[in-house]
Chain A
Amino acid sequence: MLATEDVSEHMGGGGAEVTAPPPVLRVRGLRKIYGATVALDHADLEVRPGQIHGLLGENGAGKSTLVKVLAGLTPADGGEIELFGSDYPLAAGSAPEGCAFIHQDLGLFETLSVAENIALTVGHSRRLGLVDSRADTRRARKLLQGLGVELDVTRPCADLPLADQTAVAVSRALATGARLLFLDEPTAYLEAAQARGLFQILSRLRDQGIACVLITHRAEDVINHCDAITVLRNGRSVATRASAGLTPDELVRLISGQEPVAYEASSRGEAGSTVIELRDASGPGFGPLSLRVGGGEVVGVCGLGDAGHFVLGEALFGIVPLSGGTMSFDDRRIELAGSRDAIRAGIAYVPPDRRTSGLAEALTARENLFMVPDQAWVQPVRSRPERKRARDLMREFQVEPGDPENEISAFSGGNQQKILLAKWLARRPRALVLNEPTAGVDLGAKAQIHHIVDQARAGGEMAVLVISSDFEEVAQICDRVYVMHRGTVVDQIEGPALTADALLTLSYGRRQA
Chain B
Amino acid sequence: MTELTIDKAGSKGGGDLGGDRSPRGWVGSGTLVDTLGRFGLPVLLVVVAVAFSLLRPESYGQWSNFRAIFDQQSIVALVALAVMVPLIVGEFDLSAAANAGLANILVVGFCQKQGIDWPLAFALAIAASTVIGIANGLIVGLLKVNSFIATLGMSTMIIGIGLLYTGEVDITGAPEGLTNFGRGSVGPISTATVYALVIALVVLLVCQFLPAGRKMTAVGANRDAARLTGLSINRYVIGCFAASGLIAGFAGAMFGAKLGGAVAGGSGSAFLLPAFAAAFLGSTAFTPGRYNVLGTIVAVLFLALLVSGLQIVGVKPWIQPIVNGGALIVAVALSAWASRLRIANLKREQLVALRRKEEEAAAGAGAGVSLGG
A residues contacting B by CB (< 8 A) are 31, 33-39, 41, 60, 77-78, 317, 319, 338-340, 343-344, 349, 351, 355-363, 367-368, 370-373, 375, 377-381, 406-410, 423
Contact = CB atoms under 8 A, between A and B. Distances in A.
Nearest to B350: A33
A488 B341 CA distance: 55
B115 interface: no
B226 interface: yes
* Interface-central residue, B5, B27, B211, B214, by most chain A CB under 10 Å: B211
A375 B215 CA distance: 12
A339 B230 contact: yes
A330 to B, nearest CB: 19
A407 B26 contact: yes
A362 B5 contact: yes
B229 interface: yes
Contacts of B232: 338, 340
Contacts of A360: 11, 218, 221-222, 225-226
Contacts of B14: 361-362, 409
A344 to B, nearest CB: 8
A60 B217 CA distance: 28
Interface of B: 3, 5, 11-12, 14-15, 21-28, 205, 209-215, 217-218, 221-222, 224-232, 289, 342-343, 346-347, 349-351, 354
B349 A36 contact: yes
B224 A357 contact: yes
Given A35-B342, A372-B214, A409-B24, 10 more contacts: A33-B354, A35-B24, A35-B26, A36-B27, A339-B227, A339-B228, A357-B224, A360-B226, A361-B221, A380-B205
A356 B224 contact: yes
Nearest to B358: A42
Task: Find the residue from B218, B226, B228, B349 having the highest chain A CB count within 10 A.
Answer: B228
Contacts of B343: 34-35
A37 B210 contact: no
Contacts of A423: 229
B289 A362 contact: yes
Contact of B230 (A340, A357, A407): A340
A319 B354 contact: no
A33 B222 contact: no
Contacts of B211: 372-373, 375, 377, 379, 381
Most buried by A among B11, B215, B347: B347
Given A355-B12, A362-B221, A377-B212, A36 B226 contact: no
B11 A362 contact: yes
Nearest to B11: A362
Given A356-B224, A360-B218, A35 B346 contact: yes
Contacts of B354: 31, 33, 38, 41
Contact of B210 (A339, A344, A380, A410): A380
B225 A359 contact: yes
Contact of B23 (A317, A359, A381, A409): A409
30 contacts: A31-B354, A33-B351, A34-B22, A35-B21, A35-B22, A35-B27, A36-B28, A36-B350, A60-B24, A319-B228, A339-B227, A339-B228, A340-B230, A344-B230, A356-B12, A360-B11, A360-B226, A361-B14, A362-B14, A363-B217, A363-B218, A371-B214, A372-B215, A373-B214, A375-B211, A377-B211, A381-B210, A381-B211, A381-B213, A410-B25
Contacts of B350: 33, 36-38
Nearest to A378: B210
B210 A36 contact: no
B230 A362 contact: no
Contacts of B351: 31, 33, 77-78
A184 to B, nearest CB: 15
Contacts of A361: 11-12, 14, 221-222
Shortest 10 CB-CB distances between A and B: which pairs?
Answer: A410-B25, A34-B22, A360-B221, A357-B224, A360-B222, A37-B24, A36-B346, A36-B27, A35-B22, A343-B230
A43 to B, nearest CB: 13
A375 to B, nearest CB: 6
A371 B346 contact: no
Contacts of B347: 33-36, 77
A492 to B, nearest CB: 28
Contacts of B225: 357-360, 368, 371
Contacts of A407: 25-26
A428 to B, nearest CB: 15
A363 B230 contact: no
Contacts of A338: 232
B154 to A, nearest CB: 28
Contacts of A60: 24
- Of the listed residues B28, B221, B227, the one surrounded by the most CB atoms of chain A closer than 10 A to its CB is B221
Contacts of B217: 363, 367
A356 B26 CA distance: 21
Given A361-B14, A372-B229, A36 B222 contact: no
B52 to A, nearest CB: 37
B222 to A, nearest CB: 4
A367 B26 contact: no
Most buried by A among B15, B210, B230, B343: B230
A31 B353 CA distance: 13
A372 B231 contact: yes
Nearest to A353: B224
Given A31-B354, A36-B26, A363 B221 contact: yes
A386 to B, nearest CB: 10
Nearest to A340: B230
Contacts of B209: 380-381
Contacts of A406: 25-27
A377 B210 contact: yes
Nearest to A356: B224
Contacts of B28: 36
A504 to B, nearest CB: 30
B206 to A, nearest CB: 9
Contacts of B214: 367, 370-373, 381
A372 B229 CA distance: 7
Nearest to B361: A3
A317 B228 CA distance: 9
B287 to A, nearest CB: 11
Contacts of B11: 360-362
A19 B218 CA distance: 60
Contacts of A356: 12, 222, 224
Contacts of A37: 22, 24, 27, 350
B330 to A, nearest CB: 22
A293 B12 CA distance: 35
A417 to B, nearest CB: 13
Nearest to A374: B211
A359 B210 contact: no
Contacts of A378: 210
A419 to B, nearest CB: 12
Highest count of chain B CB atoms <10 Å: which of A35, A338, A377, A408: A35
B349 to A, nearest CB: 7
B339 to A, nearest CB: 9
A299 to B, nearest CB: 21
A406 B23 CA distance: 12
Given A33-B351, A36-B26, A363-B218, A357 B228 contact: yes
Given A36-B347, A361-B11, A371 B218 contact: yes
Contacts of B12: 355-356, 361
A172 B297 CA distance: 57
B221 to A, nearest CB: 4
Contacts of A344: 230
A38 B27 CA distance: 12
